Amino acid sequence: MNESIRETLLKPDSNEFALMNNGITILSDETNFSERIGIVNRAQLRVLNPQIINGGQTAYTLSRVLNEDRDAAIERFSGKEVLTRIITLTPKQPDDGSGAERNRLITEISNASNHQTPVIYADKASNEPYLITLQKILFERYGLFFERKRGEFSDGVHSAYIDKSVIVDRNIFFRVFLAARGGLNRARKKRIFINHGLSEDEILSETDLEQFFDAYALFRRRVPSKSFTPTGKYRNVLARVFIATRMTDRVLSLDERLLQAEKLWLELIRQGARSRNFYSAKKIDRESGAQRVVFLEERWVGSNEFENDIKQFVEKSEIGPRIPPVRTPNEPAAD
């Protein structure tokens, strides 16, 4: 919920909200307005298939304020107004549908409406058809809620009908998805949601999504929920997850697989120390004053060479036939 919107709304004896808020823009397939409802100074507005294309935070904040105290709702909202624009799109050729025209209009109106209030480009890109398809697949096949738009499921979490553990942040999805494929360098890119570099076919591949689901279960087990941040790049964690997906048996529990992956990780570090000695440095022991050589693990893991090194390590040691994950339909990823 946007606190600044809430504070402006709840100011007593003031309608600053209408002046300071850009309002809500709704796209509809059909709109009807009638004053013949038998109540003086009231009318009925009927909207078919409404979609908010601008003002989502405003609408969400209003709904939260309403649900905070329904008994006081009339008093809280008294004298307050919200500018609302309803745009009805009538296709030039009804038989062909209005999908393409509707998407074009959404983009143009969103760009124009947000000229003074910047919107992150990723939020605009979230309406891409392939992402809507991905969202549907992840829910129907794995019971996961892919968050195309920031805060999309926050109302469900707040109302306790969606568990936070089954919501997949869009940035985390692409980091784990890429890491599971071995793309560890790309997985740590900034603004990964719009810079992932994947084709639609790659993202929607059934094989790759199965691989993602396995990797995501391991990732969630490896990263404590309290330390989980969508903006984190999790470089070392994703490398361990890659090892676990390729070199451990899926009949084992997640904890057993991660334990095996940790042992393999230590072996990988030992091999790296032998083959990449230019990532080593001489250090003086504070107590003894003796000089010793230390392998700079973090520098190696953050280098461009690391991805190729870990892939070679996996290829030499990868286990035999893969055993598919055992799960029931709509079973969420392990938390």
The mean pLDDT values, 10 residues at a time, for the chain of 335 residues are: 67 67 82 81 86 79 80 78 82 59 67 52 75 95 92 81 91 95 92 91 96 96 76 86 94 95 94 90 80 88 92 76 41 46
Specify whether 2 is located in the same domain as 114. Answer: yes
Q: Which has the closest alpha carbon to 143: 207, 198, 216, 227?
A: 216
pLDDT score, position 335 = 44
Range of the domain at 139: 121-254+318-335
Specify whether 335 is located in the same domain as 206. Answer: yes
pLDDT score, position 35 = 80
Q: Is the dihedral of CA 182, 186, 188, 193 positive or negative?
A: negative
**The two structure tokens encoding residue 18:** 């209408």
pLDDT score, position 107 = 67
Specify whether 197 is located in the same domain as 332. Answer: yes
Half-sphere exposure at residue 226, Cβ-oriented, CA atoms within 13 angstroms: 0
In a domain, 266, yes or no: no
In a domain, 280, yes or no: no
pLDDT score, position 143 = 95
In a domain, 170, yes or no: yes
Kindly provide the b/e burial profile for residues 21-39, where b requires at least 16 CB atoms within 10 angstroms of the residue's own CB: bbbbbbbbeeeeeeeeeee
Distance CA 242, CA 292 (A): 32
Identify the domain boundary among 119, 138, 168.
119
Specify whether 220 is located in the same domain as 204. Answer: yes
Specify whether 183 is located in the same domain as 194. Answer: yes
Q: Which has the closest alpha carbon to 154: 61, 26, 66?
A: 61
In a domain, 265, yes or no: no
Cβ proximity of 146 and 138 under 8 Å: yes
pLDDT score, position 118 = 45
Specify whether 109 is located in the same domain as 180. Answer: no
Distance CA 48, CA 249 (A): 51
Identify the domain boundary among 98, 119, 140.
119
In a domain, 61, yes or no: yes
Specify whether 198 is located in the same domain as 59. Answer: no
Distance CA 269, CA 285 (A): 22
pLDDT score, position 2 = 61
Distance CA 319, CA 284 (A): 41
In a domain, 290, yes or no: no
Cβ proximity of 11 and 18 under 8 Å: no
Specify whether 206 is located in the same domain as 328. Answer: yes
Q: How many domains does the chain have?
A: 2
In a domain, 84, yes or no: yes
Identify the domain boundary among 52, 87, 119.
119
Specify whether 178 is located in the same domain as 219. Answer: yes
Specify whether 28 is located in the same domain as 159. Answer: no
What pTM was computed for the model?
A: 0.68
Specify whether 179 is located in the same domain as 328. Answer: yes
In a domain, 261, yes or no: no
Specify whether 65 is located in the same domain as 154. Answer: no
